Homo-oligomer: A and B are copies of this chain.
Amino acid sequence: MATKAFIDLVAECDNFPYDEQYASKFYKLYLPHDDRPHGYMLPEVVRKMPWTPSFRIDYDAHTVSLQDPSSSSHVDLTSFCNAELATTVNAAIDANLFAIIHGQHSEPFAILGANNPIVHMERFAAPLFGIVMRGAHATAYTRSRATGEMKLWIPRRSPLMFTYPGKLDSTVAGGVRAGEGPLEAIVHEAAEEASLPEELVRRDVRAAGTLTYMSETRAGYAQGAEVGLAAPDCVYLYDLEVAEDVVLKPRDDEVKEFYLWGVEETKRALLNEEFKTNSAVVMIDFFVRHGIITQENEKDYVEIIVRMHRKLPFPTTPRPHWH
């Protein structure tokens, strides 16, 4: 009954149009002493945001720029950026101005390519500013010693989750918090979500690249949330081969249960749209890297790979030294 193709699942996630004309309606967000934009903001969000006086809005140029008040040192400048952004976000939360924040504070993460380490942004507020979010996903799998057959550990999200309740997910996944690296995120999420011991994860987990894509929030992204926001994302990928006698069990209340599925069963669930949007793409990338999806069996092979590694219109590295 599956009518979707793998490219459709990728396009569902990477759904922000590539047309440069489309992007021109957004305001670009700038940090001090950095001519690279760090986010795209809708005009109505720019007008509604309770900016501090340190932000200069240019309604003609479509820019929002945080202005350095002085010739600050880098350390001072970082504190300054964090204070101005936090004051603005706090005011937006207190006045309950945006449904996507739903009146709550959320964990801070670091703006990926900011020159000043570490400029913070709260996760729920990020899509209002169009800032690149950072996540880490690990795929745990076993390989039968007898037959070589691969099986994948796949959790079903709790029906009580705020986002994507009841959907299938990556084995282990979470946001990368400010001051933390993606490997550390995987280590503590693996313990919290799957009861996997830290020593096992540190010994056997293997980095496997990143996904980059850009979403546009749609009805259903989060209940009642603003639509049309730019939500660029960078997901750090990890593979974790575990022995056949390792059993994954939910520990926190985010996971309902774990399945151990073969490749064909997992493919069917993907094409049936049973996975959380970006976790489907994590699984597709896993299948590409492990030689399961190939040029020989997938006509959209190259297009799928390209769209999972989008060049975002924002920096991903501080102070680039190349051009």
Minimum CB–CB distance from A35 to chain B (whole Å) comes to 15
Cβ contact within 8 Å between B310 and A306 = yes
A316/B322 contact (C-beta < 8 A), A181-B295, A209-B288, A288-B209 known = no
The complex places the Cα of A65 from the Cα of B321 at a distance, in Å, of 40
Q: Does any Cβ of B come within 8 Å of A300's Cβ?
A: yes
Give how many copies assemble into the complex.
Answer: 2
A306/B212 contact (C-beta < 8 A), A7-B322, A8-B322, A322-B11 known = yes
A320 — which chain B residues lie within 8 A by C-beta? 303
Q: Does any Cβ of B come within 8 Å of A37's Cβ?
A: no
Q: Does any Cβ of B come within 8 Å of A234's Cβ?
A: yes
Q: Does any Cβ of B come within 8 Å of A207's Cβ?
A: yes
A199 — which chain B residues lie within 8 A by C-beta? none
Q: Which residues of chain A from 8 to 23 have any CB-CB distance to chain B below 8 Å in the complex?
A: 8, 11, 18, 20
Cβ contact within 8 Å between A209 and B316 = no
Q: Does any Cβ of B come within 8 Å of A115's Cβ?
A: no
Minimum CB–CB distance from A209 to chain B (whole Å) comes to 5
A99 — which chain B residues lie within 8 A by C-beta? none
Q: Does any Cβ of B come within 8 Å of A40's Cβ?
A: no
Q: Does any Cβ of B come within 8 Å of A294's Cβ?
A: yes
CB-based closest 10 A-B pairs: A309-B309, A206-B291, A302-B316, A207-B294, A207-B291, A306-B311, A209-B288, A210-B305, A303-B317, A11-B322
Chain A residues in the interface with B (C-beta under 8 A): 5, 7-8, 11, 18, 20, 112, 181-183, 206-210, 212, 234, 236, 239, 288-291, 294-296, 299-303, 305-312, 316-318, 320-323
